[in-house]
């Protein structure tokens, strides 16, 4: 143990995740908070909350990732969320060959990892269809939390919304509400729309037989995991720390940096 720490800060569109690892790679601290309206302020607040002995240690290295990675003024380096999620997932799942499905706040990524390195990736285009934001907007329309909506969906029956656009899909949901469709069925349709979108994206990339691993904010919702297993026709692995995959990967890059 040389007393060096790696701090990985993943500023996502919805949540900011922080992981600190020691030089042995053990997680010694983690933090999750809303990104809020200012990435710079959030990054500064995180820095203040770090354990002082780590924050003030000159051997500590900081790596920022996520869409707000350029808004972390004290970062030694920025690395994209693709590389960080991949590195974090390799560690979290203990696999060298795997595929990562990351459903984040504003984008959904599929990452093919072979021999511990990224070989291919795809991200959704500019629109928010099939992302955490989509789920959040729809849950709002149904006046429930995203978690409650996922539980509700489990009780629902097959219902479809056809629009991929969040704005149009919202009007479709409002239409379903107007027709008296049970909330459970609407919730079913919303989750279905997200996983179908992920499946469509997967058509453009070579996942092969390697395990599918879910990271990102939706990994807490077991129903999303279950639905992904249904559309992909195979197991989808996840772990409670999977939403920290990007921050963990960033922390590993930090330890590796000079």
Partner 1 sequence: MADYVKMWENLGMDLESHDMLCQVLPTAVGDVFMTQENRPKAMDFWDLVISEVHGIRPAELIEEQKKGRKVFGTFCVFVPDEVIIAADGIVTGLCGGSQFWVPGGEEVLPKNTCPLIKASVGARLGRTCPFFRIADVYVGETTCDGKKKAYEILGQDVPMYIMDVPQMKRPKDILKWKEEIAEFAEKVEEITGNKLSADKLKEAIRIVNEKRKAMKRVYDARKSVCLPISGRDTLLMTQISFFDDPERCAKMCNRLADELEQRIKDGVSVVPEGTKRILVTGTPLAVPNWKLHNIIETSGAVVVCEEMCTGTRYFENLVDDSGETLDDLYMALSERYMKNNCACFTPNPGRIDDIIRLAKEYKADGVIDCSLKFCGLYDIEKKSVAEALKAEGIPVLSLETDYEDSDAGQLRTRIEAFVEMLNG
For partner 1, give the closer residue by CB, 83 or 185: 83
Q: Which of 81, 184, 192, 252 binds partner 1 (CB under 8 A)?
A: 81
For partner 1, give the closer residue by CB, 27 or 205: 205
Q: Which of 5, 62, 93, 121 binds partner 1 (CB under 8 A)?
A: 121
Indicate the DSSP class of residue 211.
P
Q: Tell me if 256 contacts partner 1 by CB under 8 A.
A: no
For partner 1, give the closer residue by CB, 109 or 243: 109
Q: Which of 107, 136, 184, 192 binds partner 1 (CB under 8 A)?
A: 107
Kindly give, in sequence order, each residue whose CB lies less than 8 Å from that of residue 49, ignoring residues fewer than 6 positions away.
31
Q: Tell me if 22 contacts partner 1 by CB under 8 A.
A: no
Q: What distance in Å separates the CA atoms of residue 85 and residue 96, rounded to the nearest whole number?
A: 13
For partner 1, give the closer residue by CB, 120 or 229: 120
Q: Tell me if 82 contacts partner 1 by CB under 8 A.
A: yes
Closest distance of CB 141 from partner 1, Å:
25
Pairing of strands 77-78, 236-237: unpaired
Q: Tell me if 62 contacts partner 1 by CB under 8 A.
A: no
Q: Tell me if 38 contacts partner 1 by CB under 8 A.
A: no
Q: Which of 6, 12, 16, 67 binds partner 1 (CB under 8 A)?
A: 67
The residue count of the chain comes to: 258
Q: Tell me if 83 contacts partner 1 by CB under 8 A.
A: yes
Q: Which of 21, 46, 72, 79 binds partner 1 (CB under 8 A)?
A: 79
Q: What distance in Å separates the CA atoms of residue 163 and residue 141, rounded to the nearest whole number?
A: 16
Give the residues across from 214 on adjacent strands.
101
Q: Tell me if 206 contacts partner 1 by CB under 8 A.
A: yes
Q: What distance in Å separates the CA atoms of residue 105 and residue 258, rounded to the nearest whole number?
A: 32
Q: What distance in Å separates the CA atoms of residue 222 and residue 214, rounded to the nearest whole number?
A: 11
Q: Tell me if 10 contacts partner 1 by CB under 8 A.
A: no
Write the binding mask 159 to 188 for partner 1: x where contact by CB under 8 A, - elsewhere: ------------------------------
Place of tokens 């309206």: 37
Contact of 95 with 213, CB cutoff 8 Å = yes
Torsion of CA 161, 166, 79, 11, to 10 degrees: -110
Q: Tell me if 123 contacts partner 1 by CB under 8 A.
A: yes
**Which has the closest alpha carbon to 110: 16, 195, 10, 24?**
195
Contact of 140 with 174, CB cutoff 8 Å = no
Closest distance of CB 143 from partner 1, Å:
31
Site size toward partner 1 (CB under 8 A) is: 18
Kindly give, in sequence order, each residue whose CB lies less than 8 Å from that of residue 97, ignoring residues fewer than 6 positions away.
113, 114, 115, 210, 211
Residues interacting with partner 1, by CB under 8 A? 67, 79-83, 107, 117-123, 125-126, 204, 206
């Amino acid at each position: 143990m040389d007393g060096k720490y790696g701090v990985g800060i993943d500023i996502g569109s919805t949540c900011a995740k922080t992981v600190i690892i020691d030089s042995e790679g053990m997680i010694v601290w983690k933090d999750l908070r809303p990104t809020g309206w200012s990435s710079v302020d959030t990054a500064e607040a995180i820095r203040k909350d770090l354990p002082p002995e780590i924050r003030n240690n000159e051997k500590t290295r900081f790596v920022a990732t996520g869409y707000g990675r350029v808004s972390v003024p004290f970062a030694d380096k920025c690395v994209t969320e693709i590389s960080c999620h991949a590195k974090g997932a390799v560690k979290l799942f203990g696999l060298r060959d795997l595929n990562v499905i990351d459903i984040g706040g504003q984008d959904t990524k599929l990452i093919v990892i072979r021999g511990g390195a990224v070989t291919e990736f795809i991200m959704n285009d500019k629109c928010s269809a099939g992302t955490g934001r989509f789920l959040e907007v729809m849950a709002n329309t149904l006046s429930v939390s995203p978690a409650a909506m996922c539980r509700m969906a489990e009780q629902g029956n097959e219902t479809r919304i056809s629009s991929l656009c969040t704005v149009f899909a919202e009007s479709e949901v409002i239409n379903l509400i107007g027709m008296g469709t049970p909330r459970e069925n609407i919730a079913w349709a919303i989750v279905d729309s997200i996983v179908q979108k992920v499946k469509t994206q997967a058509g453009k990339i070579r996942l092969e037989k390697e395990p599918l691993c879910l990271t990102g904010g939706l990994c807490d919702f077991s129903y999303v995991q279950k639905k992904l297993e249904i559309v992909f026709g195979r197991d989808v692995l996840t772990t409670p720390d999977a939403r920290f995959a990007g921050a963990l990967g960033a922390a590993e890059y930090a330890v590796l940096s000079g």
